[in-house]
Amino acid sequence: MPKHKTVLKRQRQNLRRRMINKTNRTRLRSQLKNLRALIASGAEEEARQALTATIAVIDKSVTKGVIHKNAAARLKSILTRQVNALASKVPASADSS
C-alpha cells in the first residue's frame, strides 16, 4: 500500500480518468453497434439519421482521446460507404410492379 501523498493522489486521479474513459468508450461502442444494426436491417432513412449522430460521437471521442484521429476517419469512411450502399440497393417490391 502506498504511503506517499503524491502516489495516493495519482491513484485517485487515475480512478477518476478511468471512469470517464470507460463512459466515453461505452458511448462510442453503443452508437456504432446501433448504426451497424440499422445497416444490417436495411433501414436506409434511420441509418442516415444514425450516421449523423454516430459521426458526432466519433468526433467527440477523438477530442477526448478515446480513439486516434486516423482511426476515426477510417471508421467514418467505412460507415458512410455502408449507408450509401443501402441507397443503391433496389427494393424487392419495386421490381415486381
30-70 pLDDT, tens digit per residue, is: 999 999 999 999 999 999 999 999 999 999 999 999 999 99
Examine residue 73 and state whether it is found in any structural domain, yes or no. yes
**CATH number for the domain harbouring residue 49:** 1.20.58.110
Range of the domain at 35: 5-86
Examine residue 60 and state whether it is found in any structural domain, yes or no. yes
pLDDT score of 4 more than 90: yes
The domain tally of the chain equals 1
Examine residue 47 and state whether it is found in any structural domain, yes or no. yes
Of the candidates 33, 29, 38, the one whose C-alpha atom is nearest the C-alpha of residue 67 is 29
**Pseudo-torsion of CA 56, 82, 38, 61, nearest 10°?**
-20
pTM of the model: 0.80
Taking the C-alpha atoms of residue 12 and residue 80, their distance in angstroms, rounded to an integer, is 40
